[in-house]
A and B are shown apart, each in its own frame.
Chain A
């Protein structure tokens, strides 16, 4: 008697379907994709959308590898963390922020600087991340509270965005956070503080990762 192949055998339709579902079920990737689409249709530059789409792509790539049973082998995160450890780093980053703020906002040089550093650190986070998600403790109720807060902020911002004449044209009657911050970033001190804070926040993330 001939033995029939199992429906879950590698390569079978059922097995491929399960793998596809396991790849696509990560909500974080889809949140990033949706955020990227909103960014692009609301007048954002390609660089802004690219950061979000690239991050979603990395998460999906992880899922593909895990679904194939291939463990993700992380690199050591300590090298960069140790390099950023000294206490004088925040002062240096603020100084760099002041220097970088000499450039006008929303110009190519500033886009290249922030984009390059941002993409480099997203790549670093991907390469040095934990091997899987299973060992991590679930934030549970905390994530519900904090997630609810950020969801409320996102929906309120979206409401203001939809109240504009078009998605790409600001309205003083329906101010978005970008619209409110724009006058501050247009000044050199405001831009210096913003770049410095962004750099210090990046260092803080690397140190905690």
Chain B
């Protein structure tokens, strides 16, 4: 198995883990969904600035 395949499998596993986390959060309610987490983080000054910075960085990193 090449390193490329290993790397791509890693990204896929992480993506599936994210989707699983969201499904578990919606079904059980034991942890916050991604949307709830964002809302909670936006209520703190550091979290709010970090989220907007992460969004801005995505724009300049991939597009700018």
Contacts and interface: CB of A to CB of B under 8 A. Distances in A.
Chain B at the A interface: SS class: helix
B23 interface: no
A121 B55 contact: yes
B59 A198 contact: yes
Contacts of A208: 38-39, 42
Contacts of B64: 45, 47-48, 105-106, 110-115
A125 B52 contact: yes
Interface residues of A, number: 73
A15 to B, nearest CB: 23
Contacts, number: 181
Given A106-B64, A114-B60, A149-B14, A175 B42 contact: no
A24 interface: no
A45 B3 CA distance: 28
Given A130-B44, A205-B52, A139 B37 contact: yes
Nearest to A181: B62
Chain A at the B interface: SS class: helix
Contacts of A126: 45, 48-49
A122 B37 CA distance: 19
Interface stretch (A6-14, A27-35, A86-94): A27-35
A175 B8 contact: yes
A82 interface: no
A142 B49 CA distance: 19
Contacts of A110: 63-64
A119 B56 contact: yes
A114 B25 CA distance: 33
A136 to B, nearest CB: 4
Contacts of A52: 53, 57
Going nearest first, the 9 A-B pairs with the smallest beta carbon separation are: A118-B56, A55-B53, A111-B64, A142-B32, A114-B59, A125-B52, A28-B46, A136-B43, A114-B64
Given A114-B63, A146-B32, 15 more contacts: A51-B57, A58-B49, A62-B46, A105-B64, A118-B57, A125-B52, A130-B45, A139-B40, A142-B31, A159-B10, A177-B11, A194-B62, A198-B55, A198-B63, A202-B55
5 contacts: A48-B64, A114-B63, A142-B36, A145-B21, A198-B59
